[in-house]
Amino acid sequence: MAEYKRPQLETLRKRILSKRRFIQVIAGPRQVGKTTLVQQFIDENTIFSRFYSADGVTDTDASWLDSIWENFRTELSLKKTRDGLLVIDEIQKIPGWSECVKKNWDEDSRNKIPVKLIILGSSRLLLQEGLSESLLGRYELNYLGHWSLTEMEEAFGFSPEEYVWFGGYPGAVFLIKDEGRFKNYILNSIIEPSLSRDILMLTRVSKPALLRQLFELGASYSAQILSFNKILGALRDAGNTTTLSRYILLLDQAGLLAGLQKYGNKPVLAKASIPKFQVHNTALLSALRTEIFKEARQDRELWGRVWESAAGSYLINQVRENAGYALYYWRQNNDEVDFVVKRGNKIVAFEIKSGRKAGSGGNLSVFKNLFPSSKTLLVGGQGFDLVEFLKTPVRDLFEAV
Protein backbone atom coordinates (compact mmCIF):
# COMPACT_ATOMS: atom_id res chain seq x y z
CA MET A 1 0.00 0.00 0.00
CA ALA A 2 1.30 3.46 -0.94
CA GLU A 3 2.07 5.80 1.94
CA TYR A 4 -1.04 7.70 2.93
CA LYS A 5 -0.91 11.46 2.49
CA ARG A 6 -3.05 13.61 4.76
CA PRO A 7 -4.92 16.57 3.21
CA GLN A 8 -2.71 19.06 5.09
CA LEU A 9 0.21 18.08 2.84
CA GLU A 10 -1.27 20.03 -0.07
CA THR A 11 -1.67 23.14 2.08
CA LEU A 12 1.94 22.87 3.23
CA ARG A 13 3.13 22.39 -0.34
CA LYS A 14 1.41 25.54 -1.56
CA ARG A 15 2.74 27.63 1.31
CA ILE A 16 6.36 26.48 1.10
CA LEU A 17 6.65 26.64 -2.69
CA SER A 18 5.19 30.15 -2.86
CA LYS A 19 7.14 33.35 -2.17
CA ARG A 20 8.81 33.47 1.25
CA ARG A 21 6.42 35.32 3.57
CA PHE A 22 5.75 33.38 6.76
CA ILE A 23 7.31 30.83 9.04
CA GLN A 24 5.25 27.65 8.80
CA VAL A 25 4.40 26.24 12.24
CA ILE A 26 3.10 22.66 12.46
CA ALA A 27 1.63 21.85 15.87
CA GLY A 28 -0.33 18.91 17.14
CA PRO A 29 -0.42 15.93 19.50
CA ARG A 30 2.14 13.14 19.54
CA GLN A 31 2.06 10.35 16.97
CA VAL A 32 -0.28 12.00 14.46
CA GLY A 33 2.34 12.30 11.69
CA LYS A 34 3.81 15.82 11.90
CA THR A 35 7.33 14.69 11.05
CA THR A 36 6.03 12.29 8.39
CA LEU A 37 4.08 15.11 6.74
CA VAL A 38 7.19 17.27 6.41
CA GLN A 39 9.29 14.33 5.21
CA GLN A 40 6.70 13.58 2.53
CA PHE A 41 6.95 17.17 1.33
CA ILE A 42 10.77 17.01 1.24
CA ASP A 43 10.71 13.70 -0.65
CA GLU A 44 8.30 15.05 -3.28
CA ASN A 45 10.05 18.35 -3.99
CA THR A 46 13.49 19.44 -5.11
CA ILE A 47 13.93 22.35 -2.71
CA PHE A 48 17.25 22.12 -0.85
CA SER A 49 16.48 21.25 2.79
CA ARG A 50 17.94 20.31 6.14
CA PHE A 51 16.00 18.63 8.97
CA TYR A 52 17.02 18.99 12.64
CA SER A 53 15.39 17.81 15.85
CA ALA A 54 15.76 19.50 19.22
CA ASP A 55 14.82 16.22 20.92
CA GLY A 56 17.86 15.27 22.99
CA VAL A 57 19.82 18.48 22.35
CA THR A 58 21.95 19.17 25.42
CA ASP A 59 22.49 22.91 24.90
CA THR A 60 20.85 24.94 27.63
CA ASP A 61 20.26 28.01 25.48
CA ALA A 62 19.47 28.95 21.90
CA SER A 63 23.08 28.80 20.69
CA TRP A 64 22.27 25.48 18.99
CA LEU A 65 19.64 27.22 16.87
CA ASP A 66 22.05 30.00 15.93
CA SER A 67 24.64 27.42 14.92
CA ILE A 68 22.48 25.31 12.63
CA TRP A 69 20.94 28.42 11.07
CA GLU A 70 24.34 29.91 10.27
CA ASN A 71 25.52 26.59 8.83
CA PHE A 72 22.44 26.46 6.63
CA ARG A 73 23.09 29.97 5.32
CA THR A 74 26.62 28.92 4.41
CA GLU A 75 25.34 25.87 2.53
CA LEU A 76 22.86 28.01 0.59
CA SER A 77 25.61 30.46 -0.35
CA LEU A 78 27.95 27.72 -1.54
CA LYS A 79 25.23 26.01 -3.58
CA LYS A 80 24.01 29.33 -5.03
CA THR A 81 20.49 27.95 -4.79
CA ARG A 82 17.39 30.10 -5.20
CA ASP A 83 16.01 29.17 -1.78
CA GLY A 84 16.22 26.51 0.90
CA LEU A 85 14.08 24.94 3.60
CA LEU A 86 15.20 24.65 7.21
CA VAL A 87 13.09 22.33 9.38
CA ILE A 88 13.36 22.22 13.19
CA ASP A 89 11.39 19.60 15.10
CA GLU A 90 10.38 19.78 18.81
CA ILE A 91 11.60 23.37 18.89
CA GLN A 92 9.74 24.18 22.11
CA LYS A 93 12.38 22.19 24.03
CA ILE A 94 15.00 24.90 23.39
CA PRO A 95 14.83 27.71 25.99
CA GLY A 96 14.49 31.10 24.35
CA TRP A 97 13.71 29.56 20.97
CA SER A 98 11.19 32.17 19.85
CA GLU A 99 13.52 35.17 20.33
CA CYS A 100 16.27 33.31 18.50
CA VAL A 101 13.98 32.45 15.58
CA LYS A 102 12.78 36.06 15.40
CA LYS A 103 16.34 37.37 15.30
CA ASN A 104 17.48 35.02 12.54
CA TRP A 105 14.29 35.28 10.48
CA ASP A 106 14.38 39.08 10.54
CA GLU A 107 18.09 39.08 9.68
CA ASP A 108 17.42 36.89 6.64
CA SER A 109 14.54 39.15 5.62
CA ARG A 110 16.75 42.27 5.78
CA ASN A 111 19.60 40.60 3.91
CA LYS A 112 17.32 38.88 1.39
CA ILE A 113 18.66 35.45 2.31
CA PRO A 114 16.11 32.89 1.00
CA VAL A 115 15.73 30.68 4.08
CA LYS A 116 12.22 29.23 4.39
CA LEU A 117 11.39 27.76 7.79
CA ILE A 118 9.17 25.02 9.20
CA ILE A 119 9.03 24.51 12.95
CA LEU A 120 7.23 21.61 14.59
CA GLY A 121 6.14 20.92 18.14
CA SER A 122 3.93 18.57 20.11
CA SER A 123 3.24 21.03 22.92
CA ARG A 124 0.75 23.48 21.43
CA LEU A 125 0.63 25.53 24.62
CA LEU A 126 4.37 26.18 24.73
CA LEU A 127 4.53 26.81 21.01
CA GLN A 128 1.67 29.30 21.28
CA GLU A 129 3.38 31.14 24.14
CA GLY A 130 6.55 31.55 22.10
CA LEU A 131 4.68 32.56 18.98
CA SER A 132 2.64 35.14 20.85
CA GLU A 133 5.66 36.59 22.63
CA SER A 134 8.04 37.14 19.71
CA LEU A 135 6.72 36.04 16.34
CA LEU A 136 3.41 37.84 15.87
CA GLY A 137 2.83 38.57 12.20
CA ARG A 138 5.65 36.28 11.09
CA TYR A 139 4.04 32.82 11.06
CA GLU A 140 1.14 30.69 9.88
CA LEU A 141 -0.13 27.96 12.20
CA ASN A 142 -0.90 24.55 10.70
CA TYR A 143 -2.67 22.37 13.26
CA LEU A 144 -2.32 18.65 12.59
CA GLY A 145 -4.87 16.85 14.70
CA HIS A 146 -5.85 13.25 15.34
CA TRP A 147 -6.79 11.08 12.37
CA SER A 148 -10.45 11.07 11.36
CA LEU A 149 -12.62 8.07 10.53
CA THR A 150 -12.31 8.89 6.83
CA GLU A 151 -8.51 8.89 7.03
CA MET A 152 -8.31 5.66 9.05
CA GLU A 153 -10.78 4.01 6.69
CA GLU A 154 -8.91 5.06 3.54
CA ALA A 155 -5.41 4.37 4.90
CA PHE A 156 -5.99 1.18 6.90
CA GLY A 157 -9.47 -0.13 6.13
CA PHE A 158 -10.80 0.64 9.62
CA SER A 159 -14.50 0.02 10.20
CA PRO A 160 -16.48 2.67 12.11
CA GLU A 161 -16.69 0.31 15.10
CA GLU A 162 -12.92 -0.23 15.09
CA TYR A 163 -12.37 3.51 14.82
CA VAL A 164 -14.51 4.51 17.78
CA TRP A 165 -12.74 1.97 20.03
CA PHE A 166 -9.15 2.01 18.76
CA GLY A 167 -9.13 5.67 17.77
CA GLY A 168 -6.97 7.46 15.24
CA TYR A 169 -3.30 6.72 15.96
CA PRO A 170 -1.71 5.28 12.79
CA GLY A 171 1.22 3.79 14.71
CA ALA A 172 -1.14 1.60 16.74
CA VAL A 173 -3.06 0.14 13.80
CA PHE A 174 -1.04 -3.06 13.55
CA LEU A 175 -1.49 -3.82 17.24
CA ILE A 176 -5.27 -3.97 17.42
CA LYS A 177 -5.40 -7.76 17.08
CA ASP A 178 -3.43 -7.98 20.32
CA GLU A 179 -5.21 -5.55 22.62
CA GLY A 180 -2.70 -5.96 25.42
CA ARG A 181 0.04 -4.64 23.14
CA PHE A 182 -2.29 -1.95 21.82
CA LYS A 183 -3.10 -0.66 25.29
CA ASN A 184 0.58 -0.73 26.29
CA TYR A 185 1.51 1.24 23.18
CA ILE A 186 -1.05 3.95 23.90
CA LEU A 187 -0.04 4.13 27.57
CA ASN A 188 3.74 4.05 27.11
CA SER A 189 4.28 5.68 23.71
CA ILE A 190 1.60 8.37 23.76
CA ILE A 191 0.11 9.09 27.17
CA GLU A 192 3.28 8.84 29.24
CA PRO A 193 5.52 10.94 26.91
CA SER A 194 2.75 13.52 26.53
CA LEU A 195 2.53 13.87 30.30
CA SER A 196 6.19 13.56 31.27
CA ARG A 197 7.91 15.25 28.31
CA ASP A 198 5.37 17.63 26.80
CA ILE A 199 3.92 18.90 30.07
CA LEU A 200 5.92 18.05 33.18
CA MET A 201 9.41 18.71 31.76
CA LEU A 202 8.45 21.96 30.10
CA THR A 203 5.81 23.49 32.38
CA ARG A 204 5.80 24.20 36.09
CA VAL A 205 3.41 21.68 37.66
CA SER A 206 3.44 21.60 41.45
CA LYS A 207 1.49 18.34 41.74
CA PRO A 208 2.51 15.91 38.97
CA ALA A 209 0.64 13.00 40.55
CA LEU A 210 -2.53 15.07 40.57
CA LEU A 211 -2.13 15.86 36.86
CA ARG A 212 -1.91 12.15 36.06
CA GLN A 213 -4.91 11.34 38.28
CA LEU A 214 -6.93 14.07 36.63
CA PHE A 215 -6.19 12.72 33.17
CA GLU A 216 -7.16 9.18 34.13
CA LEU A 217 -10.35 10.38 35.81
CA GLY A 218 -11.30 12.65 32.93
CA ALA A 219 -10.63 10.01 30.28
CA SER A 220 -12.74 7.47 32.13
CA TYR A 221 -15.58 10.01 32.29
CA SER A 222 -15.22 11.19 28.69
CA ALA A 223 -18.43 12.72 27.25
CA GLN A 224 -19.75 13.23 30.78
CA ILE A 225 -20.24 16.29 32.95
CA LEU A 226 -18.56 15.98 36.33
CA SER A 227 -18.85 18.71 38.95
CA PHE A 228 -15.71 20.13 40.51
CA ASN A 229 -16.92 18.86 43.88
CA LYS A 230 -17.05 15.30 42.54
CA ILE A 231 -13.65 15.78 40.90
CA LEU A 232 -12.16 17.07 44.14
CA GLY A 233 -13.69 14.15 46.02
CA ALA A 234 -12.26 11.59 43.59
CA LEU A 235 -8.69 12.91 43.59
CA ARG A 236 -6.02 12.75 46.28
CA ASP A 237 -4.43 16.07 47.25
CA ALA A 238 -6.65 17.80 44.72
CA GLY A 239 -6.04 21.36 45.91
CA ASN A 240 -8.52 23.87 44.50
CA THR A 241 -10.55 24.39 41.35
CA THR A 242 -8.05 26.93 39.99
CA THR A 243 -5.32 24.29 40.02
CA LEU A 244 -7.61 21.74 38.37
CA SER A 245 -8.66 24.22 35.69
CA ARG A 246 -5.04 24.93 34.84
CA TYR A 247 -4.21 21.22 34.65
CA ILE A 248 -7.20 20.60 32.37
CA LEU A 249 -5.89 23.35 30.09
CA LEU A 250 -2.45 21.71 29.97
CA LEU A 251 -3.98 18.33 29.14
CA ASP A 252 -6.11 19.94 26.45
CA GLN A 253 -3.17 21.71 24.82
CA ALA A 254 -1.22 18.43 24.81
CA GLY A 255 -3.98 16.84 22.73
CA LEU A 256 -5.14 14.49 25.48
CA LEU A 257 -8.21 15.69 27.38
CA ALA A 258 -10.47 18.72 27.18
CA GLY A 259 -12.83 20.20 29.74
CA LEU A 260 -15.57 21.72 27.58
CA GLN A 261 -17.26 24.83 28.92
CA LYS A 262 -21.01 25.34 29.13
CA TYR A 263 -22.46 27.47 26.34
CA GLY A 264 -24.20 30.65 27.40
CA ASN A 265 -24.71 34.27 26.50
CA LYS A 266 -22.28 35.38 29.19
CA PRO A 267 -18.66 34.23 28.57
CA VAL A 268 -17.69 34.93 32.19
CA LEU A 269 -20.22 32.38 33.44
CA ALA A 270 -19.08 29.86 30.81
CA LYS A 271 -15.50 30.03 32.08
CA ALA A 272 -16.70 29.24 35.59
CA SER A 273 -18.90 26.36 34.49
CA ILE A 274 -18.65 22.68 35.39
CA PRO A 275 -16.42 20.98 32.79
CA LYS A 276 -17.54 18.26 30.43
CA PHE A 277 -14.61 15.90 29.99
CA GLN A 278 -13.77 14.90 26.45
CA VAL A 279 -10.80 12.89 25.17
CA HIS A 280 -9.17 14.07 21.96
CA ASN A 281 -8.87 10.48 20.70
CA THR A 282 -10.97 7.53 21.84
CA ALA A 283 -7.86 5.33 22.05
CA LEU A 284 -7.05 7.31 25.20
CA LEU A 285 -10.31 6.10 26.69
CA SER A 286 -10.13 2.44 25.64
CA ALA A 287 -6.47 2.07 26.65
CA LEU A 288 -7.37 2.85 30.26
CA ARG A 289 -10.25 0.38 30.42
CA THR A 290 -10.01 -3.32 31.21
CA GLU A 291 -12.57 -4.32 28.57
CA ILE A 292 -11.51 -5.42 25.10
CA PHE A 293 -13.26 -4.51 21.84
CA LYS A 294 -15.66 -7.48 21.82
CA GLU A 295 -16.68 -6.96 25.44
CA ALA A 296 -17.17 -3.21 24.99
CA ARG A 297 -19.55 -3.76 22.07
CA GLN A 298 -21.72 -6.02 24.24
CA ASP A 299 -22.02 -3.39 26.98
CA ARG A 300 -24.79 -1.04 25.79
CA GLU A 301 -23.98 1.72 28.27
CA LEU A 302 -20.23 1.67 27.62
CA TRP A 303 -20.58 1.34 23.86
CA GLY A 304 -22.96 4.28 23.70
CA ARG A 305 -20.51 6.37 25.73
CA VAL A 306 -17.69 5.42 23.36
CA TRP A 307 -19.70 6.58 20.34
CA GLU A 308 -20.52 9.87 22.07
CA SER A 309 -16.82 10.30 22.88
CA ALA A 310 -15.96 9.62 19.24
CA ALA A 311 -18.36 12.37 18.16
CA GLY A 312 -16.82 14.78 20.67
CA SER A 313 -13.29 13.84 19.65
CA TYR A 314 -14.14 14.49 16.03
CA LEU A 315 -15.60 17.91 16.82
CA ILE A 316 -12.60 18.89 18.97
CA ASN A 317 -10.19 18.11 16.15
CA GLN A 318 -12.37 19.81 13.55
CA VAL A 319 -12.59 22.95 15.67
CA ARG A 320 -8.81 22.97 16.19
CA GLU A 321 -8.08 22.52 12.50
CA ASN A 322 -10.55 25.20 11.33
CA ALA A 323 -9.95 28.65 12.72
CA GLY A 324 -12.90 30.61 14.06
CA TYR A 325 -14.88 27.73 15.58
CA ALA A 326 -15.44 27.07 19.29
CA LEU A 327 -16.87 23.97 21.00
CA TYR A 328 -19.11 23.85 24.09
CA TYR A 329 -21.81 21.76 25.75
CA TRP A 330 -25.09 23.00 27.23
CA ARG A 331 -27.15 21.98 30.26
CA GLN A 332 -29.96 23.55 32.24
CA ASN A 333 -31.65 21.62 35.05
CA ASN A 334 -32.34 18.18 33.52
CA ASP A 335 -32.01 19.31 29.91
CA GLU A 336 -28.67 18.75 28.18
CA VAL A 337 -27.29 19.16 24.67
CA ASP A 338 -24.14 17.17 23.96
CA PHE A 339 -22.22 19.69 21.87
CA VAL A 340 -22.60 23.29 20.73
CA VAL A 341 -20.37 24.68 17.98
CA LYS A 342 -20.11 28.43 17.46
CA ARG A 343 -18.60 30.39 14.60
CA GLY A 344 -19.15 34.12 14.54
CA ASN A 345 -22.84 34.68 15.22
CA LYS A 346 -23.90 31.21 14.06
CA ILE A 347 -24.60 28.52 16.64
CA VAL A 348 -25.29 24.85 15.92
CA ALA A 349 -26.34 22.45 18.70
CA PHE A 350 -25.76 18.70 18.28
CA GLU A 351 -27.55 15.97 20.20
CA ILE A 352 -25.91 12.54 19.84
CA LYS A 353 -28.21 9.49 19.99
CA SER A 354 -25.85 6.56 20.28
CA GLY A 355 -28.25 3.82 21.32
CA ARG A 356 -27.43 4.46 24.98
CA LYS A 357 -29.90 7.32 25.18
CA ALA A 358 -33.54 7.10 24.13
CA GLY A 359 -35.70 9.94 22.91
CA SER A 360 -36.06 12.10 19.85
CA GLY A 361 -33.95 15.13 20.67
CA GLY A 362 -36.41 17.07 22.84
CA ASN A 363 -33.53 18.83 24.55
CA LEU A 364 -32.74 20.50 21.23
CA SER A 365 -36.19 22.12 21.31
CA VAL A 366 -35.49 23.51 24.77
CA PHE A 367 -32.17 24.88 23.56
CA LYS A 368 -33.82 26.37 20.48
CA ASN A 369 -36.42 28.15 22.62
CA LEU A 370 -33.67 29.71 24.73
CA PHE A 371 -31.49 30.60 21.74
CA PRO A 372 -33.94 31.24 18.88
CA SER A 373 -31.28 32.10 16.30
CA SER A 374 -29.50 28.75 16.78
CA LYS A 375 -29.59 25.76 14.46
CA THR A 376 -29.92 22.20 15.72
CA LEU A 377 -29.04 18.74 14.45
CA LEU A 378 -30.04 15.37 15.88
CA VAL A 379 -27.29 12.82 15.16
CA GLY A 380 -28.00 9.10 15.36
CA GLY A 381 -31.31 7.38 16.08
CA GLN A 382 -33.93 8.90 13.79
CA GLY A 383 -31.62 11.78 12.89
CA PHE A 384 -28.51 12.31 10.78
CA ASP A 385 -26.47 9.11 10.41
CA LEU A 386 -23.79 8.93 13.11
CA VAL A 387 -21.15 7.41 10.82
CA GLU A 388 -21.78 10.10 8.20
CA PHE A 389 -21.47 12.71 10.93
CA LEU A 390 -17.96 11.42 11.75
CA LYS A 391 -17.05 11.78 8.07
CA THR A 392 -18.52 15.24 7.41
CA PRO A 393 -16.30 18.33 7.82
CA VAL A 394 -17.67 20.80 10.34
CA ARG A 395 -17.70 23.50 7.65
CA ASP A 396 -20.09 21.38 5.58
CA LEU A 397 -22.31 20.74 8.60
CA PHE A 398 -22.50 24.49 9.18
CA GLU A 399 -23.46 25.06 5.56
CA ALA A 400 -26.14 22.34 5.61
CA VAL A 401 -28.12 23.26 8.75
> Over 50: is that where the pLDDT of 2 sits?
yes
Phi–psi pair at 25, nearest 5 degrees: -105, 125
- E-strand ranges in 107-202 read 115-121, 139-143
158 SS3 class: coil
Compute the distance between CA of residue 93 and CA of residue 121 in angstroms, rounded to an integer.
9
Compute the distance between CA of residue 340 and CA of residue 327 in angstroms, rounded to an integer.
6
Q: Average pLDDT of 356-376?
A: 84
Q: How many CB atoms lie within 10 A of CB 164?
A: 30
Q: Output the pLDDT for position 73.
A: 95
CB 57 within 8 A of CB 64: yes
Task: Express the helix, strand and coil content of the chain in percent, nearest 5 each.
Answer: 50, 20, 30
**Per-residue pLDDT reduced to its tens digit, 23-38:** 999 989 999 999 999 9
Q: Output the pLDDT for position 330.
A: 95
Percent pLDDT > 70 in the chain is 92
Q: Output the pLDDT for position 15.
A: 95
Q: Output the pLDDT for position 1.
A: 47
Q: Output the pLDDT for position 125.
A: 57
Higher pLDDT, 159 or 267: 159
> Over 70: is that where the pLDDT of 128 sits?
no
Q: Average pLDDT of 372-397?
A: 94
Q: Output the pLDDT for position 285.
A: 97
Which domains can be identified in the chain, with CATH numbers? 8-143 (3.40.50.300), 149-400 (no CATH)
Higher pLDDT, 298 or 204: 298
**Per-residue pLDDT reduced to its tens digit, 35-86:** 999 999 999 999 999 999 987 776 667 899 999 999 999 999 998 887 899 9
**Per-residue pLDDT reduced to its tens digit, 71-126:** 999 999 998 887 899 999 988 888 888 899 999 999 999 999 999 999 998 766 55
pTM across the whole model: 0.90
**Per-residue pLDDT reduced to its tens digit, 219-277:** 999 999 887 777 877 777 766 778 888 999 999 989 999 999 999 876 655 555 789 99
> Over 90: is that where the pLDDT of 367 sits?
yes
Compute the distance between CA of residue 288 and CA of residue 59 in angstroms, rounded to an integer.
36
Q: How confident is the model at residue 360 (pLDDT cuts 50, 70, 90)?
A: low
**Per-residue pLDDT reduced to its tens digit, 271-328:** 557 899 999 999 999 999 999 999 999 999 999 999 999 999 999 999 998 889 999 9
In the sheet that holds 346-352, the strands lie side by side as 224-225, 276-279, 257-262, 325-332, 335-343, 346-352, 375-379
> Of 4, 24, 29, 2, whose CA–CA distance to 13 is shortest?
24
Phi–psi pair at 27, nearest 5 degrees: -125, 150
